[in-house]
Amino acid sequence: MTRATLGIAICTFRRASVHAAVASVAGQAVPGLAPPVILVADNDDTAAAREAILGGAGAARGRLAYVHAPGRNVSLARNAALRAARERGVTHLAFLDDDETAGEGWLDALWARMEESGAQAVLGPVDAVYDAQAPGWMRALRPHDTRPAGRPGAPLRTGYGGNVLIHVAHPVFAGAEFDPAFGREGGEDTAFFAAAVARGAVLAYAPAARAAEAVPPERATLSWLLRRRLRAGQTHAQVLLAAPLRRPRAAEAALALGKLAVCAAAAAALAPAPARRNAWLLRGALHAGALSVLAGRAAPGRGGGGPGSPAAGLRPALTEDAP
């Protein structure tokens, strides 16, 4: 049996926070296994950040590798990290975003859950960190938190790239890469894991493998969240259409329209209660995004922005049920 070799990938694009991300994983370890190689895949046009990133290796010195992956497309950065990991003999690769920090014991918790469950990919929670200026309803609702989509106890149908360990040497992930068509607007991780599940991959969740993500002021708005959920719904619909449909496309569109109407009515009825109202508005935006694709009025997966762009924060794998 091949001995496991661990790696950690951080994709970045002009974010100073990448140094905190690297520092948070530098000391991560799994008892009995060699310390992980750390790959920073830079999606910028030039390799201007190379020296700063390598110079800030700290405890990861000698294990930190800089991978230049130009193109301002997060799928290109993720794929460059996958290829670099495979070239180095990495069998299990964890992804962390460049604006996240891993908690104590993060990698070990992901690994333990993978060993326990036999899953080929394990997701961890990402907890939003709000500053004092964030609206009260936002701190109460916590819509920036990331958890696996779907009902509790149900098999996971997709995942996300911000906090995950992937058994990249497993046959179900052989040659698998992220689709560049989704890499500018977001959703590449949702499509990647949905395709893996379709090939037979099993996904699991490790609540103890926590990561944290500071929410900048420009994202601490209802309008940003509505755009995020709209995009998430579009990605869900595109993934849905890529597989055999359980019902005709028109029926799927009608279902999304019905759910959107319910959300709109609930939001109107709860207008005096900001947190509950906005929860229904955000859920409605998810269904509106799905409807826009199912009705043929939107084609997600095109647009501009790299891993550090606002679009790259549109993480489709949300805590609520799929549209």
pLDDT, tens digit, for every residue of 100-118? 999 999 999 999 999 999 9
Instruction: Enumerate the CATH 3.90.550.10 domain ranges in the chain, comma separated.
Output: 6-219
Choice among 11-20, 160-169, 185-194, 270-279 with the minimum mean pLDDT = 185-194
As given in the structure block, the two tokens for residue 310 are 């606002």
Residue 308: pLDDT band with limits 50, 70, 90:
very low
**CB neighbours of 62 closer than 8 A, spacing ≥ 6?**
none
Residue 318 has pLDDT above 60, yes or no: no
Residue 243 has pLDDT above 80, yes or no: no
Residue 252 CA to residue 80 CA, distance in Å, equals 36
Residue 174 CA to residue 79 CA, distance in Å, equals 13
262, 264, 268, 269 alpha-carbon torsion, rounded to 10°? 10
Residue 139 CA to residue 117 CA, distance in Å, equals 33
Residue 232 has pLDDT above 50, yes or no: yes
- Kindly give the residue spans of alpha helices, DSSP state H, lying in 93-221: 106-117, 136-141, 188-198
Rounded average pLDDT over 79-86 = 97
The interaxial angle of helices 188-198 and 74-87, nearest 10 deg, is 50
Q: Which pLDDT tens digit goes with each residue over 212-231? A: 999 999 999 999 999 999 99
Which pLDDT score is estimated for 301?
46
Which pLDDT score is estimated for 11?
97
End-to-end C-alpha distance for the chain, whole angstroms: 42
Q: Among residues of the chain, what percentage have pLDDT more than 90? A: 79
Which pLDDT score is estimated for 56?
81
CATH topology of domain 6-219: Spore Coat Polysaccharide Biosynthesis Protein SpsA; Chain A (3.90.550)
Which pLDDT score is estimated for 174?
94
Residue 177 CA to residue 80 CA, distance in Å, equals 9
Residue 313 has pLDDT above 80, yes or no: no
Residue 170 has pLDDT above 80, yes or no: yes
Residue 152: pLDDT band with limits 50, 70, 90:
confident
Q: Among residues of the chain, what percentage have pLDDT more than 70? A: 91
DSSP assignments along 70-120, one per residue: -SS-HHHHHHHHHHHHHHTT-SEEEEEETTEEEPTTHHHHHHHHHHHH--S
